[in-house]
Structure formats: C-alpha cells, structure tokens
Structure 1
Amino acid sequence: MKGVLTKMGFTNTGNDVSISPEYFLDLDSGRVNLSELIGKGIGLKYLNINRCIHCGRETKKLFGQGFCYPCFIKVPEAEECVLRPELCRAHEGIARDLEFAKANCLVQHYVYLAWTGGLKVGVTRYHQIPTRWVDQGATFAVKICHTPNRYTAGLVEVELKKIFADKTAWQRMLTDSSELPPDFLTHKAKALEFINGKNLSYIPESDVVYRVSYPVIQLSDKVRSVNLEKVNAIEGKLVGIKGQYLIFESGIVINIRNHSGYLVDISF
C-alpha cells in the first residue's frame, strides 16, 4: 500500500483512565490497522518523494513535521507557540489564523506530569487528552492543573521547568517497562506547591492517575532509530508500537511522525 506518511492515529479500546491505543495509519490507498500487524513481518520503503502534508505539493525539503517552506511559515499548525506555549499571543488577538486559535489556543489547557521512562512536565489542549500522552509514549500521567488558554499554561510550564524536565528521552521511553513510581503523586503536590503564590492563573486538578498500555510484545534493551532518507527501506518483524514509534524485533525503531510527508510503500 502506498501513501504519504502522517502521524499514526489510534482508537482507544480502553476507557478514559486506562487507555489502550489501537494504532492505524491512513494512506492514499486506505487505512492500515498497525496493531493487527504486531508479531508479523512488514516492510517500509521510501519512494524518494516528499509531499507537504498541508498543501500536498511535491517538495525537495520538508520543514517542521512535514510542511513545505511556504506552508511552514504561514499555517497555524506550525506557529511558534506549538512548541513554546508561553509565546502564544492569541489572547492579544494576534495569530496566523484567529479562527484556528479560538479552537486551539483560546480554550482550556492542562499542565500535566507524565512518565516516559522519566518524569516530564507538559502542556496540552483539553481535547488532546489522551492523544498527547499516547504520542509521547507516556505510560502514566496526571493533570496538575488547568488554565483558561495556551499562553497561561505556557507560563505555568515555564515555571515548572525549573524543577522538572520537559523533554522525552526517546531511548528510555522505548526500553522502559517500569511500573508507576511510588512518589508520582508526591511530585504533583510538589508542582502545585512550587507555583503557589506566583501570580499564575490556574485551577488545581484532582489526583487521577491515567495509565496507557501499548501494543508491545517485546522490548529491547537497546534501540536504534533509523531515518528513511539514509536507509531507504526497512523490513522485519514488528514487535510493538509506542508513542509514534514502530518497534522491530532487531531493535530498530522508526518515528513515523518525524517522517510526515514521505511517500512510502508499505508491505505486509
């Protein structure tokens, strides 16, 4: 099956608190249920063509996560506040697309702690739960607080980055099989105590711990990430999916989202 890669989607076959993603990939020729392919041999071949995931035009180089340069500098999905919420200016009426901002920036946001092989703090829109956690490969998460918009959530995150990491170490995430750290909720209490009295607008959340169970039948002690521009093709037995990574029996992994815009042929 051929098509342009975009990030993997999923259906939650669990519930709101105990999340079980069943992954799929939408290609030009149809939807592939990736979870059904775990334990089977698959192949992924790059056809040396890139297409912008926004406008669809062919381009030599992709920017961000799958955009041609003109789209990268104008579409709201690639605006600076996507990566740095504290730079959002939608609350001031400034945005690349104000209608997009009304639906995605000027809405309730959560600041959360997640376990991705290590503890990290993050921000997400209310309608991106649990998608954000699944995309990051988090196995546990707890909401610290909610805020009225993206900018305010970004200010809270900036403060909490003084005591928590804000990046996922992908190697640790993919090799981690640990259970919930016993002090997980203690860290949430620490976060709330740290931002208390700092003139930030937020409302604390309850102590609900969310768990994500990924379709993985084998974890490797070491993993090696590959780029399709360098290896052109990969094949092997698919033994798991976690975050946006396909995990192969050999220990090779590939981040599908990072290959957004690549035209590929998938065989299975």
Structure 2
Amino acid sequence: MLQGNLKKMSADVHDNQVQYYLELNGERVFVNELLGEKVTLQIDGTIHCTNCGKVTKKSFSQGFCFNCFRKLAACDTCIMSPEKCHFHLGTCREPEWAERFCMQSHYVYLSNTSSLKVGITRGDQLPTRWIDQGATQGRALFSVENRRMSGLVETLFKAQVADKTNWRNMLKGIDVVMDLEQEQERLIEQVYEGLDALQSEFGFQSIVDLSDKNETFQFHYPVLEYPTKITSLNAEKTPRIEGTLMGIKGQYWILDTGVINIRKYTGYQAILEF
C-alpha cells in the first residue's frame, strides 16, 4: 500500500515499448508490472495545490488552488492558446518563468492518436508529449524560436487537421498506421503561403523545417485488452476505484471496470493498493 498526492505518471521508452511509473510520497511504482492484477485507488477528496501546497476545495487547471490559478503564468489562457502569448507586450504574469518555459525553442508536430492531429510542445518534451496523449506515432515538423511562434504555426495547420485527441477512440485501440511523412508534405503544401508570411514577418530562422532531418517515432503501449465500450470513472463521485488493470495508455489506466485519467487528479491525496 502506498499513500501520497497524485501527479501524472512519468514514462520512458525502450525499443518502442512505453514503460510507466507512478510516484506516491517518494516511492516509485513500475505500473507495467501491475497489468493483470487487481488494483484499488482510494481518493479521500483532500487536494493539495501543486504550487503552494495549501489544501484547496477544488482543483483548477489540474492541480492548482484558485489563488495560484489566478496569478501563475502557467495557468494563463495563452498556455492553451499559445498564439495569444502576450510576453512581447510586457503583460506576462511572470516574465522570469516565461523566459524559462515560453521563450525557448518549441516543436510543431504531427501525431497519430487514432486519427491525425497537429500539436506543439517545448523543445525538451519529446517524446513525453506524444506518450502523454497516447500517440502511436509522432513526427516533428518544425522547430520554432518560442511558444508564441509555435501557436501561430499550429493555427495554420488547424484549418486542415484536428488539434485535439479523441480520447475515447484512443482508449479503444483504434490504431491505423499512417505515413506521417506523406501527411507532412500534403499539409505543408496547403499552408506554405502562411508559413512564408510568418517568416517574412519574424525572420527566416523563426521557423526551421525538419523535413529532411527527422524521423517518425513509433510507440507500443502496455495493454492486455482494449475496452469495446468506454466507461469513465469519476473519483470525486466514486472515491474508491478498483478493478483489474488491463492497460495503460496516455495518462489513463484501463481497468475492467472502466477508465480513469490519472493526470486529472493531480494533487489529490490517494492510497494505492495492489
């Protein structure tokens, strides 16, 4: 039995196989080893803000109290819509934080999460970002100079391809192998005028095409059996979640009783029994 505050699972990849770890109170569990075993996750409703540590009645933006949610740059609307970044206007909530996280190189990528999607992530977050969303394939398209630029480039592609994951299909294991290099060529052909306009405005080096330098990554997840019907488990309504662990994909546990998004309960006090 382990007890502590939940946070998202960490993961690494060996020979395309994804390996998951969950940490509670400093102890690390290799979750892959629990496949086929009965597990119980008891959440008592106590939530600690992941920033200030104070107890909060409600979690905002996956783990923050209201005060931190309101003041932290990590919770600003531009995090979800990076093209709205206002650092250059001098109105960022935390300029020093933005220098470390936003004013750094980012990738614009394609991934296969049961369907084709476009996304962005910081330069040091691949392949973590793909694994967190349950992608079976991922390919970086461009390296750009900062988060705002990644959002501007992503916006061009969003007119042609989705930027959201259909998590239900992802958890059903509806995986079709895609030629992401071919999709990359097709999409760039449709948005090249917009890319040229951005480079004209911000400089040629603001967007670096990775077409000739990159590869498509493949990921295989530890899943014994995918569900045919998705039943989402809500730990706030049913604090005791239990069942046989049938798989892990993205940040979800697939149990024979339903699925639960571990990351959703970041900061929640939990007891894990297995």
Judge same fold: TM > 0.5, yes or no: yes
What SS does the corresponding residue of 1:196 show, helix, strand or coil?
A: helix
Q: Are the equivalent residues in 1 in contact too, given 2:113–2:175 (CA < 8 A)?
A: no
Do the aligned partners of 2:114 and 2:176 also contact (CA within 8 Å) in 1? no
Q: CA deviation at 1:197?
A: 2.3
Q: Decide which of 128, 133, 157 is 2:130's aligned counterpart.
A: 133
CA distance in 2, matches of 1:28, 1:86: 37
1:119-130 map, 5 Å: 119-130=116-127
Instruction: Please identify, of 90-99 and 67-76, the stretch whose mean Cα deviation from structure 2 is larger.
Output: 90-99
Query: 4+ runs of 1 displaced by more than 6 Å?
Result: none
1:107 aligned residue: 104
The residue aligned with 1:254 is 260
- The answer to whether the 8 Å contact 2:171/2:249 transfers is yes
Aligned-residue offset at 1:94: 3.9
Equivalent AA in structure 2 for residue 240 of structure 1: G
> What is the distance in 2 between the residues matched to 1:203 and 1:134?
24
The DSSP-based 3-state class of the residue aligned with 1:66 is coil
Query: 2:214 matched to 1:203?
Result: no
Cα displacement (A) at 1:92: 4.3
SS at structure 1 position matched to 2:168: helix
Question: Matched residues in 2 for 1:7 and 1:77: separation?
Answer: 16
SS at match of 2:246: strand
Report the 3-state secondary structure (helix = DSSP H, G, I; strand = E; otherwise coil) of the residue aligned with 1:231: coil
Is the CA contact (8 Å cut-off) linking 1:24 and 1:32 kept in structure 2?
Answer: yes
The answer on 1:39 being equivalent to 2:36 is yes
Q: Report if the CA contact (8 A) 2:134-2:251 is conserved.
A: yes
Gap runs ≥5 in structure 2: 200-206
Aligned to 2:183: 187
| Other-structure match for 1:8 | 9
1:94-243 to 2 correspondence within 5 Å? 94-181=91-178, 183-198=179-194, 199-201=197-199, 202-206=207-211, 207-243=214-250
Calculate the aligned-residue CA RMSD, in Å.
1.5
Deviates more, 1:5-14 or 1:210-219: 5-14
Cα distance in 1 for partners of 2:162, 2:208 equals 22
- How much has 1:247 moved relative to structure 2? 0.6
For residue 36 of structure 1, give the secondary structure of its aligned residue in structure 2: helix
**Given that residues 91 and 106 in structure 1 are in contact (C-alpha distance below 8 angstroms), is that contact kept between their aligned partners in structure 2?**
no
Letter in 2 for 1:2: Q
